[in-house]
Structure 1
């Protein structure tokens, strides 16, 4: 089966049962007939040139490299509020927790050279797209399954160990790390805070902890946010598990690749998508 770029986007939506393309995903240079693709977490101008030189029909990136998904990325952060309120965080507190992050993302999109990578693809007539939120949602659901499969009296250390058994995390150079808490702490209520654009930093984690959540999972976090959380919650039995950015992204992207290959698309993987395959 020969796929168009629109077909490929639709496959990503079908995997998670969505009807609309998320704001952080888009087709930058479209194509009607895609039989081969170079697929990676971050594929930018050098990889576009590599793909054109080696004759790939498509460059398929995960992270938004430019265009509308870069400029108008911020709406996907609404999911952070949805995730928090689902765990009992009052909506006003959830909105306040994500306000600074939303402002920073809006400013970053406004200041970015959103034309850089797409314009190179256009110049070379190289089909180019990125699919971000749907694969992350696949990864989020996998993490949720791991948490739900554990015993009611599981410890956070047992949770981290179970996460490390996911092939992408097991193979990666990074492991599931406990940035806050101790391995023998009760796992308790777990919030999987992934597939919402980016991590929520200390403000979002604090909103969870202050409203009864025992364990928060991020796929990455900055050292400053970690230090803030350790200072505020270090002795309170709360836990922050961080699974590793690229390994965690690869979980969902690899399932997406499997679905594309099942439709006959030949995918070569680089830039993190070669983890766990």
Structure 2
């Protein structure tokens, strides 16, 4: 007997010792006795149809596409605040730094056709779900452990080298780890790995970290406008912003989830970014 979609979701929660499904993760079409899964970072209408055509028991996406996972996405963004306060940013400052991002995402939810992909899966009778926050949290913890393992006098370049040495995903990626602010020779100092909070925090969140004792912020992606703002404000300050790459970073936690599913008898076919590091 294979697993149910509920059991698969529960497995993802067990990996991070959570007991509540995050707002960005949803079972759109439930399934039972799942023995095969098409797994990808982005699985939308075409991939759902592919899964049905090829006879997969489940289409398992990482990124949310609709329903609750989009409408409740802003609740996940509250983790932006808790990550900042854990690194010494006062709560009122952290809340203010995250407010713009949360407002933008709240507005964006009203423009989305969040029933599109789930309705395709329903029409085809194709079990379909997404698991977003738990794999990202796995990746964040693993990157945080690498940062914590470095010597007190480590440089930014030492962190980048350690990421490459530790993670096949970064070695295999077509993107490179970039230091968008600062320099490889800069002292690493206090590090905040800001991942697994829905999305990156942009310039506002990085600024809050920099102004309250964090020397190096690690994002998995950032926009060019935010990079330029931070360069104008913090160039030559000794502060550093390291960008590890979106898909490669997501693949770290997803590979742990895929390995766990396969250990429980679910044969996984990785596509759409999930082949990185495998």
- Is TM more than 0.5 here? yes
Deviations 1:3-41 (A, max 9, x none): 000000000000000000000000000011111000000
- Which residue in 2 is equivalent to 1:115? 115
- Which residue in 2 is equivalent to 1:75? 75
The alignment partner of 1:33 has SS state of coil
2:46 equivalent to 1:52: no
Kept in 2: contact 1:37–1:56 (CA 8 A): yes
Question: Cα RMSD (Å) of the superposition?
Answer: 0.6
Deviations 1:113-141 (A, max 9, x none): 00000000000000000000000000000
Mapped to 2, the partners of 1:164 and 1:233 lie a distance apart of 26
- Which residue in 1 is equivalent to 2:148? 148
Structure 1, unaligned runs of 5 or more:
none
Deviations 1:123-177 (A, max 9, x none): 0000000000000000000110110111110000110111122100110011211
Deviations 1:224-265 (A, max 9, x none): 000000000011000000000000000000000000000000
Kept in 2: contact 1:71–1:112 (CA 8 A): no
TM-score normalised over the length of structure 1: 0.99
Mapped to 2, the partners of 1:199 and 1:51 lie a distance apart of 30
**What number of residue pairs does the alignment pair up?**
277
- Which residue in 2 is equivalent to 1:275? 276
Mapped to 1, the partners of 2:110 and 2:128 lie a distance apart of 22
TM-score normalised over the length of structure 2: 0.99
Kept in 2: contact 1:214–1:238 (CA 8 A): yes
- Which residue in 2 is equivalent to 1:36? 36
- Which residue in 2 is equivalent to 1:180? 181
- Offset at 1:110? 1.9
4+ residue segments displaced more than 2 Å: none
- Which residue in 1 is equivalent to 2:203? 202
Mapped to 1, the partners of 2:98 and 2:277 lie a distance apart of 32
The alignment partner of 2:78 has SS state of helix
Mapped to 1, the partners of 2:85 and 2:217 lie a distance apart of 14
- Which residue in 1 is equivalent to 2:19? 19
Structure 2, unaligned runs of 5 or more:
none
Mapped to 2, the partners of 1:167 and 1:149 lie a distance apart of 18
